[in-house]
Amino acid sequence: GRNVDNACQSIQQPWGLMEAEECVTSSLNLQEQLKYQEAKVGYQRALDLQIARLGEEHELVAESLNRLGLVAGILGNYTEAERLHARALDISRGCLGDEHQYTATCLGYLGVTMRRLGRLSKAEENCTRALMIRTQELGANHPDLAQSLNDLGDVMFDLVKLPKAKECFVKALAIGNDNATTEAARSLFGIGLVMSLQCVFSEAEGHLHRSLEIRKQVLGDFHPHVAQSLCGLANVVISNFVFVGKGDLSQASKFANMALGMTKQIFGPDHPAVARDLFFLGYAMLLQNKLPEAEACHDRALAIFKHAFGDIDRHVASCLMMGAAVKMGQRNISEAVEFCADALTIGIQAFGGDDHLVIGSCLLAMGSSLHQQGKHHEAAQHLSRALAIVQQVLGDNHLLVSTILHDLGEVMYCEEKYPEAKEYHSRALAIRKQALGEDHMNIATILHSLGMVAYEQGRYLEAEENHSRALAIRTQALGEVHEDVAMSLYNLGCAVHQQGKTADAVRLLKKCVAIEKQVLGDDHKNVAFKLRQLEMMKAQQGLGFARLKMMWKFRSTGWIM
């Protein structure tokens, strides 16, 4: 929590309130010991004494209301915190005026609480006003501005206004000269999250590690802010894995578990911070294909979020999307679609519109789930809406844009709209090459899809070139013996076979079968299928450019017999 006394040095304590002062001093000590419930009792006692002595409309009463509000917020009681901070703001305005520094403090506290409750427009208004008042009185470089800048930066991040958020955090950090303070740690944490969302993962991790170091140095190893930094690191590692394939998921699980143990011990099992840690632990488990563990984390996190924020909340929507991903992993597509639909409905209500990144993510998940159900037209509609939102929020060249473009290409392929499929895949490929380079595994995925499209259009040389390049990337990244390498060999063999290069096709399919036998076993249905195709090709050797009608059609996830 923040020390309100330092924020309002101009408020003079009248005589005759010694017991209230003692209650405040005792509660501040308890708060430093993380004994928040006991501190709350002392702050309430001080408030009662002050009201009895001074009446309700006094600046010292506002100060005590803010102390109570801060503790309520720390404990996850955000509705109570909002009520307390709003009352403090009314008193401060009445006693001190709209432009007073303590009024700015009250606006900041109320803005932070509204952000936690998801009322982001109002939070932005209050935090912006607080910063303006402080800047007018104190100048642009006063140390007190760091808190207001960080408050506003947090709101801008939640609104996914990333340039503005980063600007606030960088300014706050500069004001403190990057000294080891709690506000500097907040700034570094915020910059790290912005960079993570911009897919600059190495720098993001560096900022978050520095934030963690400062918090440990200033607050000790066991503190809610330390847990927050650990969870932030888990978030970055997971995002790195999802977008670039480089994150160490066991490390993400470790960070999330450490944060979870800390928050449970400090707050008990039902605090929103516990749900936050469960959420990221669940995602790490999901990406490691530990579906029972992921589902357990999801179920518990969802229950906590609903209890803390109600059914219509952004945290609930995000958690439901994780639930949908778990259902997809379990191959329960119909339930995944239901989860996505609920997440989308809740997200639109929570944000009051459909232009937030969370809504775009819900639409993406919904489109992918519908695609798996074979409802390609509906999938395309959802994915197109997702693309528009994500481009607006993150720009045209973000890796998430490439993911949506690739998914749209897959849907167009299934609808046999090959020119449109090629266009989407080509756009996705250009973004990924720019972000990841020429030799990344995610490049191979799109080259594979482009090869499939070219094959269906009868452009067999183009198909050969794409599959050959995909094969080279996959072999370098995965080694010779891998199922994806076998798939590329098979696709390449089909492409060269259609050009009459039967001997080359047979050679490629032999390598494919050998790998699949080693990976899947001699009796796997895919091995049997390839052996049949191999015999067909062998029978055609020497027939020149004779064509056989292919009896199978490929999809991005494999083949359909």
Give residue 242's pLDDT.
Answer: 94
Give residue 190's pLDDT.
Answer: 98
| Model pLDDT for residues 283-313, shown as the tens digit of each residue | 999 999 999 999 999 999 999 999 999 999 9
- How does the average pLDDT of the chain come out, rounded? 91
Instruction: Please determine, for residue 532, whether its predicted confidence score (pLDDT) is greater than 90.
Output: no
| Model pLDDT for residues 219-257, shown as the tens digit of each residue | 999 999 999 999 999 999 999 999 999 889 999 999 999
- First-to-final CA distance of the chain: 62
Give residue 523's pLDDT.
Answer: 85
Instruction: Provide the strand spans (E) within 350-501.
Output: none
Give residue 145's pLDDT.
Answer: 95
**Per-residue pLDDT band at 554 (split at 50, 70, 90):** very low
Instruction: Please determine, for residue 272, whether its predicted confidence score (pLDDT) is greater than 90.
Output: yes
Give residue 16's pLDDT.
Answer: 52
Q: What mean pLDDT comes out for the span 146-155?
A: 97
Instruction: Please determine, for residue 548, whether its predicted confidence score (pLDDT) is greater than 80.
Output: no
Rounded Cα–Cα distance for residues 316 and 236 (Å): 21
Give residue 9's pLDDT.
Answer: 41
373-387, 444-458, 498-512: the lowest-pLDDT one: 498-512
Instruction: Kindly write down the DSSP assignment for every residue of 52-93, as one continuous string.
Output: HHH-SSSHHHHHHHHHHHHHHHHTT-HHHHHHHHHHHHHHHH
Instruction: Please determine, for residue 542, whether its predicted confidence score (pLDDT) is greater than 80.
Output: no
Give residue 13's pLDDT.
Answer: 52
Higher pLDDT, 548 or 65: 65
What is the three-state SS of 432-458? Answer: HHHHHCCCCHHHHHHHHHHHHHHHHCC
Rounded Cα–Cα distance for residues 513 and 189 (Å): 50
Instruction: Write the CB contacts of 528 (distance below 8 Å, at least 6 apart in sequence).
Output: none
**Per-residue pLDDT band at 260 (split at 50, 70, 90):** very high
Q: What mean pLDDT comes out for the span 33-58?
A: 95
Higher pLDDT, 4 or 220: 220
Instruction: Please determine, for residue 100, whether its predicted confidence score (pLDDT) is greater than 50.
Output: yes
Name the residue type at position 436: L
